[in-house]
Amino acid sequence: MNNTYSEEEIERLPFMDKNLDLEKRVEDLLGRLTIEEKFKLSSGRFMWQTKPIKRLGVKPFIMYDGPHGVRPDTMREIKSTYFPSAICRAATWNPKLSYDFGKAVAEEVREVGAHMLLAPGINIHRTPMNGRTFEYQTEDPYLNKVLAVATVKGIQSQRIAACVKHFICNNQETNRLTVSSEVSERALQEMYLPAFKATVLEADAWSFMTCYNKVNGIYGSENINLLRERLMGEWGFRGFTVSDWNATAFTNTAGCVKAGLSLEMPTAKKYNKSKMIKAFREGQFGVDNLNDNIRRLIRVMLLVGLYDDEKAIPKGSRNTPEHQAIARKIAEEGIVLLKNENASLPLNINKIKKIAVLGPNKNYKLVGDDFLSGGGSSVNFPPYEISPLEGLKEKCLNRVEVTNVPSEADATIIFAGLNHDSGKDAEGEDKNSFELPSEQIELIQKTSKECSNTIIVLINGSPIAMNSWIDSVSSVVEAWYGGMEAGKAIASVIFGDTNPSGKLTITFPKRLSDSPAHVSKRTFPGDDKVYYDEGIFVGYRHFDARDIAPLFPFGFGLSYTTFSYENLMIDKNKIRSDDEIKVSVDVTNSGSVEGKEIVQLYVQDVESSVERPIKELKRFEKVFLHPNETKTVLFELKKEDLSFYNETVNSWIVENGTFKILVGSSSRDIQLQGEIEYIG
């Protein structure tokens, strides 16, 4: 007979002793659970939490959305900091800001009494039409890896679990519950897995969320190869996996248990008591699989301090000035200046007398009257939100007149772009157009004839076409969805208080048909299957290999100053397998204002037995420079930075031969290059 313990007795049980070894605590609690209690712990309740086991004092483990700030309710009663979208954060190319964001948002998770944040989302940008592009970071696996690791470390520094999602190849919303992503092993290894793998090996991520879709014919929640073999076996993941909400709809109970799915959310469907008992009694899964799944969940419960004294765990905080400052800093550094003809920007507040402000997004705020208008799991309810127009008016107060008549203005700013309505930048379906809405295009074309200095500020989370209007405007600013401080951040850049330093993490194509996923219906959106026929040639790799000119390339972003690159130095010209290569370059601010430059290092395999990209990002660094200041940027490369995944031998290899080291300010602006020879 199973003991029912009093509160005093529970306090004395070994798993409650925080001074005891973690694994001993895990095994103690696991050993006290009955088989039915383990079944009970395998699924959620009340949308966001696990079920309690009162007999043993096992509390609910609570997890909340989302990637841009914690949202504990849908009634708007609990306000929390609304941070910029992930694509904006990534456009800073600043790992420290990703860490700071992670730490800050985790403090908010802790303050609302939860233990895990359902973030970060790190799916690769395969198509600019994905409705959730704004929630993800980049098309490049190396940049994705660096920023994902920093974010997870920031979150878990507060003993809040990060839940890395969506594992894996959830690169579109169309048919996401049923579609099978048909992808080669090389593409998995080189493009889609690296960031997920790094969050385990470098950041010890405590949870992974399984994807809705199938991967090569098997749903993510019951994919033994992805979960048991790779994630847990090869990478040594010690945390637990949780299904995306209702992602188990078309799976099999035993299949999920055997694959390593610890927790089905939000409620029991495949993991309900009767199905679990039936499958277990019929021998469809064994107690070892079940124990491993529950062991992993218990481990994370202990890691986040579920049974520790509150004084022993980090203290939470919410809506603090510090968090708001981080939100603004990310918004400012994430803004990308795409065009600036005749140095139209920044506007000089001491000389300009009148600006016209137009466009549907001038009053943009995340959440309107409709809860779903926030983009699905990215909905936030901030205590305040500064719209672009409010930010400009605050900046211009008593100095510059703000009007809506372009013909009378010294400059006109049009806030164009998208929003989180269905068919735009929103979860649940992909974008229904690559163009701006026709009324916005007409407004831009009409206004540019009335005002010679027309500036477009885009509020959006994914690439859009610009061919029909970009030549008629003087400047284009990509401001993304910039969080609750967006209005202030935009005004700061427009008037030059902040020198823009963001760079694109995704290629902006001139035409949708130029994108690698848009060859045919087979490659996007597919039907029951979507074929990743482009393989590793995603994003700039495709544009380079096929010699297609993008509208704006990966890594691109202008500044109000200029930078020069000199003195590329490589410390050795021949390297062997265990060597490190040191690469240095001098970067000078050759302009008249202080600014930040993102120095990018790419590698090219000059001759290979398989087709390889023209270049691949392998290092980057963001440097701050005063006018006329020079800094030496140092990079270190290893053998793995030269390697590719060989499907013939199923391993990473480096072939002997020449490699080019390319350093520049974007993927299409290589300033300096050198060579090394790999001799095994």
**Using CA atoms, how far apart are residues 46 and 347, in angstroms rounded to an integer?**
51
β-pair type (116-117, 161-167): parallel
What beta strand segments (E) does 363-435 contain?
Answer: 401-403, 411-417
* SS3 at position 180: strand
Alpha helices in 467-522 (DSSP H): 486-494
Q: Which two tokens stand for residue 440?
A: 């916005």
Phi, psi of 379 (to 5 degrees): -60, 135
Residue 641 bears catalytic tag: no
**Using CA atoms, how far apart are residues 588 and 501, in angstroms rounded to an integer?**
15
Candidates 244, 314, 318; CA nearest to 82 is 318
**Using CA atoms, how far apart are residues 235 and 501, in angstroms rounded to an integer?**
35
**Using CA atoms, how far apart are residues 674 and 501, in angstroms rounded to an integer?**
26
First to last CA, the chain: 64
DSSP 8-state code for residue 670: E
Category of 480 on φ-ψ map: left (φ > 0), alpha (ψ -120 to 50) or beta: left
Q: What share of the chain is helix, strand, coil (3-state, %, to 5)?
A: 30, 20, 45
Residue in 65, 244, 425, 605 annotated catalytic? 244
Q: Which two tokens stand for residue 628?
A: 């006329």
The CA-atom distances, in angstroms, between 395 and each of 348, 388, 441, 502, 606 are: 12, 11, 27, 22, 52
Candidates 507, 272, 473, 240; CA nearest to 358 is 473
Q: What's the chain's length in residues?
A: 680
Candidates 532, 555, 480, 556; CA nearest to 127 is 532
| Residues 6 or more apart whose Cβ sits within 8 Å of residue 442 | none
The CA-atom distances, in angstroms, between 83 and each of 71, 89, 499, 596 are: 12, 9, 20, 22
Q: Which two tokens stand for residue 583?
A: 């690469």
Residue with structure tokens 């790094």?
A: 198
Q: Which residues are known catalytic residues?
A: 244
